[in-house]
Amino acid sequence: DAGVTQSPTHLIKTRGQQVTLRCSPKSGHDTVSWYQQALGQGPQFIFQYYEEEERQRGNFPDRFSGHQFPNYSSELNVNALLLGDSALYLCASSFASGTPSYEQYFGPGTRLTVT
Amino acid sequence: AQSVTQLDSHVSVSEGTPVLLRCNYSSSYSPSLFWYVQHPNKGLQLLLKYTSAATLVKGINGFEAEFKKSETSFHLTKPSAHMSDAAEYFCVVSDRGNTGFQKLVFGTGTRLLVSP
């Protein structure tokens, strides 16, 4: 049973460029959440997708956008990259209809470096 | 909004001695609480979760945590540290928000150092 997978593993971009990160959820999961983890900090919630719609969003600018496909996989897009966008981007999957104590399973992350 | 505070940024122990990582939470309703571990250059792994049933929660690798409502705490413990326990530990609370969907709110993390 494959867990959450993310691609690419590492990415280097220049300020002002655009980037797309990809995530495939754990088998059977239908909800994908994205988190940003800056160096030395805890992950911060970006947004969450269910049934191909953004269901909730954290305090991130509109430069951060996403998409969920019919097969439940997801993309995170960041436009007009800033140096401060350098971070580990984590994808997590879960069941939307889970109990209040439901679990999110995390992928290994994509390390984005903006120069 | 829900939040967690991890009281120590770094904790150092010797191998074979007990581990205590402290976490306080703030919640307007009965919370769902988790501890995650992150080894260097690895993803996040769930250690244990509080499900509003038993207040003493047992997790993987000998870790356990006790939910204390009166103290709003959810401290992580292990009787005997192993070198492989050296990692970053995150206390996490689940926030249901207005949409009914849940997001995870992470603490700032505690780095556990284990010396021989």
A44 neighbourhood in chain B, CB within 8 Å: 106
Best of B4, B21, B44 to mutate (most A CBs within 10 Å, chain A): B44
Is B86 in the A-facing interface, judged by CB distances under 8 Å?
A: no
Helices (H) and strands (E) in chain A, counts: 0, 11
pLDDT the model gives residue B9: 96
Task: Say if CB B11 and CB B19 are below 8 A apart.
Answer: yes
pLDDT the model gives residue B82: 97
Best of A29, A47, A104, A110 to mutate (most B CBs within 10 Å, chain B): A104
pLDDT tens digit sequence for B2-19: 899 999 999 999 999 999
Cβ-Cβ contacts under 8 Å for A34 (sequence gap 6 or more) = A23, A45, A46, A47, A48, A66, A74, A76, A89, A90, A91, A92
A22: tokens are: 């990809």
Among A75-89, B2-16, B97-111, the range scoring the smallest mean pLDDT is: B97-111
